[in-house]
Structure 1
Amino acid sequence: MAVSGGPDSLALLLLAHAALPGRIAVASVDHGLRAEAAGEVAMVEALCAERGIPFTALAVEVPRGNLQSRAREARYEALARWVREQGCGALATAHHADDQAETLLMRLARGSGLAGLAGVRAHGHVPGSEILLVRPLLSWRKRDLETVVAAAGIEPARDPSNEDEAFDRVRVRRHLAQHDWLDPQALAESAGHLAEAWRAIEWYAQLDFEEMVHREDVPDGPAYRYYANVPRAIQVETVRRIVAELGGQVSRAEAGRAADRLWRFENASLGGVLAVPGSERLEKIGLEVRVWRFRPEPPRRVH
């Protein structure tokens, strides 16, 4: 599991050690961004040594750019390597109900689609890998996790960036604290309901791909024919899947714009793939249905 030395991850360490004694290992990441980080890693190491928990210190370099995003990418990359080296079954992180509420509000403010509004998932994969990622504390409030750490007589580390209002998450956290009618637990539960709805869409999209998408071998390589007669949310997922099968990669926003063009019977180009709309009459059901054909874009001519 990943333990930073903050109250949330220390609570995860304590709870996991109580529930699964002898079956956990801990890694702590120093991003090289704060002088205090090395001491925090050493503190986690000492706590693990007291409890006989295997511990590994990881150091990463954070590239220039969006600080929090780049740090997250570097952290997960290092943790994924560590999980493989240790032979662990999964990576656990300490995301909790307050994190979930903050994430939901931030994504609502950005106009996110259902996949984003589903928030932080209880189960998933470490970004860029096949490693299982679990978040067992999503039903816990932050204050309860802090109580667990205090009861153990441990003084957790405090990251000053958690107080820096230059970051959107900090401003949202302050807003939640100032308005008691916004219940983080209820917001987290709403994110859970949205996650259930998203799983239903993923299931339907898999079925749509299996039943309504047909591969065709043409002289210049593989192509796909898609009978696109489902709600837009499903179309978007299927279009993304088809583009991926043809070696491309597109966001949901890009796939949505392409689906809108195709629905208007306009060609669409995305991720190196050309999509052409049309229609066919299916005699079996006696209806005219939309058919979208996908193939790799031909090379551009250079004059």
Structure 2
Amino acid sequence: MAASPPPDDALSDDGLEHLFTSLNHAAGIIAAVSGGPDSIALMHLLARWRVAGSRPPILVVTVDHGLRPEAADEAAFVAREADALGLRHRILAWAGDKPRTGIQEAAREARYRLLADLAHAAGASHLVTAHTLDDQAETIMMRLARGSGLAGLAGMRRETERRGIVHARPLLGWPKARLLDLCRSQGWRFVEDPSNANTLYARVRWRRLMPLLAAEGLDAERLSRFAERAARADEALDLKAREALEGAGLVEEGGRLSFRGGILASEPLEIALRALEQALRRAGFGLDNSRLNRLETCAERLRRAVGAGEALNLTIAGALVQLDRAGKVSIGPEPPRRRGR
């Protein structure tokens, strides 16, 4: 579903109902609020929506990553603001040692783990974050730079599943500037995170490049539209790959999965690639973007071997992929590797 742009009457009952309509049937809502203008605006909008009708319970949550001395004060600030709005609030701490490299990625993983765990414990079905149109544009450019495929270039979805919890991003069609203006015009107080200006982080560097791209016509709105089109193409290709895999006599038994490998040679390469990826996932072997090149190499080698009637063994992501001379592909765990002295 495409992210809707902010309506002119966003603060009206109808505007808020349109914005949060997918949350009406939630068992409970966890709202992640850091204290910045985006998330503070989200909290205020949720509070107004809440009093306009019978709504699911809302719990505002701030994650203190323990990376800056100001973080504890900022979490306490959000707690006071939430209390003033009649919303419950919790502070979650990311405890333990922190990595020396990749700190933003590690913090993100820790944050979502903590939020999902709390959602399960609280009986909430939905997690809501304040990702914006600008965040979407930055995400697409960062993924493009990493060589991502269509799934990555589809960007963030309005709703996704995260460890059994629905992760909703109702502000994904809103520019950051609109939210900042809203906070200022309504007198909603917020804090500024100095890490948002730290060029050690890739996202900050991309953020500084975005005005230059926009000047050439590649603005956040056009990048978001590109992501929507990529998402449509990605979903269509996934569906065709699933149909091809199901039609290839897919069998799952004894911890192994098998299917007729002819589809890897007869289908277009993109469908063959996705069918192989889906088979690996169904067999319990997850793939991330860093293995996309390896997946492409495996699919191409299997296609050639199927066409030549040859047997082939490959390993990827902890899986052993075996093709026999009859054209049957089977997938199971990679055997332990023998290590020399």
Do they fold alike, i.e. is TM over 0.5? yes
RMSD of Structure 2 on Structure 1 (CA): 2.3
> Which amino acid in 2 is paired with 1:124?
T
| Bigger mean CA offset, 130-139 vs 58-67 | 58-67
Quote the residue 2:32 is aligned against: 2
> Which structure carries more relative contact order (alpha carbon 8 Å, separation 6+)?
2
1:144-159 aligned at under 5 Å gives the runs 144-159=178-193
State whether structure 2 residue 306 is matched by structure 1 residue 269: no
Deviation of 1:262 (Å): 0.6
| Bigger mean CA offset, 15-24 vs 135-144 | 15-24
Q: From the superposition, tell whether residues 247 and 144 of structure 1 become closer, same or farther in structure 2 (CA, over 3 Å).
A: closer
3-state SS of the aligned residue for 1:137? Answer: coil
Contact (CA 8 Å) 1:261, 1:268: kept in 2 or not? Answer: no
For residues 68-115 of structure 1, what are the alpha-carbon distances to aligned partners after superposition, in whole Å with 9 as ceiling and x for unaligned? 011001101110111112212200111111011111112222221111
Q: Distance in 1 between matches of 2:32 and 2:338?
A: 51
2:226 to 187, 190, 202: 190
| Bigger mean CA offset, 28-37 vs 234-243 | 234-243
> Which amino acid in 2 is paired with 1:272?
A
Number of aligned positions between the proteins? 288
Q: From the superposition, tell whether residues 209 and 147 of structure 1 become closer, same or farther in structure 2 (CA, over 3 Å).
A: same
> Which amino acid in 2 is paired with 1:211?
G
Q: Distance in 2 between matches of 1:250 and 1:138?
A: 26
| Bigger mean CA offset, 223-232 vs 38-47 | 223-232
1:201 to 229, 233, 237: 237
Contact (CA 8 Å) 1:25, 1:54: kept in 2 or not? Answer: yes
State whether structure 2 residue 109 is matched by structure 1 residue 63: no
Contact (CA 8 Å) 1:30, 1:59: kept in 2 or not? Answer: yes
Q: Distance in 2 between matches of 1:221 and 1:75?
A: 33
| Bigger mean CA offset, 240-249 vs 54-63 | 240-249
Identity of aligned residues (%): 37
| Bigger mean CA offset, 143-152 vs 14-23 | 14-23
Deviation of 1:134 (Å): 0.7
TM-score normalised by the chain length of structure 2: 0.77
> Which amino acid in 1 is paired with 2:98?
P
After TM superposition, which residue ranges in structure 1, 4 or more long, deviate above 4 angstroms?
Answer: 297-303
Q: Distance in 1 between matches of 2:225 and 2:296?
A: 28
1:170-189 aligned at under 5 Å gives the runs 170-179=204-213, 180-181=215-216, 182-189=218-225
> Which amino acid in 2 is paired with 1:294?
S
State whether structure 2 residue 129 is matched by structure 1 residue 93: yes
> Which amino acid in 2 is paired with 1:131?
I
